Amino acid sequence: MESNHNILVLTELFLPTKGGTAVWFDEVYRRLGGRNIHVITAAVEGDKEHDRTHANTIHRVPMARKPWLKPESLPMYFNLLRRGMAVLWRNPIDQIHCGRVLPEGLVGWLLARLFRKKLLIYAHGEEITTWIQPGKRKAMRFAYLHADRLIANSEFTRQELLKLGVDENRISLVSPGVDVHRFRKGLPCNDLKAQIGLAEGEHLLLSVGRLSRRKGFDMVIRALPLLMEKGLRPRYAIIGIGEDHDYLYDLAREQGVTDRVHLLGHVSMEDLPRWYNACDLFLMPNREIDGDNEGFGMVFMEAAACGKTSIAGDAGGTGAAVLQEETGLRVDGTRPEAVATAIARLLEDPEFRNELADAAHRRAVEKFSWEAVAQSTRRIMDEMTQESA
């Protein structure tokens, strides 16, 4: 499905940088076109090997922040602007797409006005609810209001954009997707279960994501003793790194469940889908902390593509990824009792659990493959072209 659009993409987040947003942009734009799509992104370790065989034309620039500068992101603005101008001078670009509102969106707005191009900005949700500094918020609102089109990753994010005064007709809803060829059911995983000593009759709970407080991994650990009181035998594996590693380890010790909690850190690209296959339930009972929210939750779609149901928190935009009582459950992520009740309900009722898992799998494959996401993005690009005709 190659596009005839010539696109300039500005995004700090792009593979091989870790994270769901980096995966999103890499997967979609390689499906939308070839060398006619120019991506300006951050120079990171391993980028040369990654870019060598990439379908798109990748431009790497330094995007490190300088703490001694005010604003510390000033070099990012300068490097994006300078390389963006060079690409626009040399190539017949039609549209400028920005992975975030700042710094990319503001730079994109300036380039779009200088070169008379259409501008699209992605909105993820957490930037709107957490960027409270007056200057930053003013710049963010300016960029959103002056974009030709916005892509919101969930209904939650769309509502936050509307609160900023964005015209609803300029907002399109496109959620991130999943590689349904890589993340799939039926992958061998007995060796992974053996790796953590999972015994017969034990249930494996899994979380994947950055070890940060709003993900709710601590609430799952607090729920483990409550599950054991019900006669259940849970094991909990967490894949990811982050600032909460020591906190989670100490919490497991405090709760007396260190033998049931496995902090796995990074796992290989090949093993990640197998860990989803190995688990009985996927969990990320997220909660809002100081305005910081989960905008969507790509990990829920990865779990669904592997045939697993999920338990999410009821904060933020996870309702777009986990449909309550249809593909999983959403709970109050501030209460370990609520988390434990939801886990117990699904573990004690395998028929209901399998029903949710089957529905989650069908939805992931039919609506959230990267091919489907790219097709939705392509339609928006076509509409932008028609609007400028």
Q: How far is CA 229 from CA 184, 221, 264, 280, 384, in A?
A: 34, 14, 26, 19, 57
Q: Are strands 281-284 and 261-265 parallel, antiparallel or unpaired?
A: unpaired
pLDDT of residue 1: 46
Q: Side-chain half-sphere of 229: how many Cα atoms within 13 Å?
A: 10
Confidence at residue 177, expressed as pLDDT on a 0 to 100 scale: 95
| pTM for the full predicted model | 0.89
Q: Which pLDDT score is estimated for 291?
A: 84
Whether 190-367 and 7-177+369-388 are alike in CATH topology: the answer is yes
Q: What are 317's two structure tokens?
A: 């935009």
SS3 assignment, position 262: strand
pLDDT for residue 36: 97
Q: Please tell me the class of the 190-367 domain.
A: alpha beta
Q: What is the pLDDT of residue 64?
A: 84
**44/306 Cα distance (integer angstroms):** 30
Separation between Cα atoms, residue 219 and residue 337, nearest integer Å: 9
Of 176, 193, 376, nearest in space to 276 by CA: 193
Residue spans of the domains in the chain: they are 7-177+369-388, 190-367
Q: Which residues, 6+ apart, have CB-to-CB distance to 353 below 8 Å? A: 280, 281, 309, 346, 347
Q: Would you list the DSSP string of 294-335?
A: -S--HHHHHHHHTT--EEEESSTTGGGTS-BTTTEEEE-TT-
pLDDT tens per residue, the chain (389 residues)? 455 799 999 999 999 998 889 999 999 999 999 999 999 999 999 999 999 999 999 999 999 877 776 777 788 899 999 999 999 999 999 999 999 999 999 999 999 999 999 999 999 988 998 888 899 999 999 999 999 999 999 999 999 999 999 999 999 999 999 999 999 999 999 999 999 999 999 999 999 999 999 999 999 999 999 999 999 999 999 999 999 999 999 999 999 999 999 999 999 999 999 999 999 999 999 999 988 888 899 999 999 999 999 999 999 999 999 999 999 999 999 999 999 999 999 999 999 999 999 999 999 999 999 999 999 999 999 999 998 76
Task: Domain 7-177+369-388: give its CATH superfamily.
Answer: Glycogen Phosphorylase B; (3.40.50.2000)
